[in-house]
Amino acid sequence: MADVFSKEKRSAIMSGVKSQGNLATEIRLIRIFRDHGIKGWRRHTPVFGRPDFVFPSTRLAVFVDGCFWHGCPLHGSLPVANREFWKRKLVRNQERDKEVREELQKAGWSVLRIWQHELKTPQNAARRIKRSLAHRSAIRSR
């Protein structure tokens, strides 16, 4: 079915739609933190790149990446419609992820990216986070 709005009008409408963020995945990760006794995390901390969670004491920034939006090698896919647009969009997201990681590392932060699909195995996600925290603690205590 053809769109009832012009391309310009549709663009104006869509630019007014605000993101809900990745609230469901963040809530799932909070549950993992609590169930596995992971403490010291904060949300909505003003850190470059706006990580989903930070552990200020160890300077660990945690991002939960959606498989579609960040191009998961296992589950990422390109929509059939408007393929070139989506390809550019997803490549740019990946480039921005790299830029954020590099800037945070320059500022002394470590970055942990967790794929959305990894939250389906909470024990594995918790293990990765605990390992990163232990590694960062060891580095910070030197």
* SS3 label, residue 16: coil
Q: Tell me the per-residue pLDDT of 66-109, one tens digit each, with 9 for 90 and over.
A: 988 888 888 888 888 888 998 999 999 999 999 999 999 999 99
Q: What percent of the chain has pLDDT above 70?
A: 94
- Architecture of the domain made up of 29-140: 3-Layer(aba) Sandwich (3.40)
Which residue in 53, 73, 79 sits closest to 115, CA to CA?
A: 73
For residues 35-52, average pLDDT: 96
CA distance 73 to 142: 36
Say what the pTM is: 0.82
| Torsion sign over Cα 128, 113, 44, 19 | negative
Q: For the chain, what are the domain ranges?
A: 29-140
Structure tokens at 35: 């169930």
DSSP 18: P
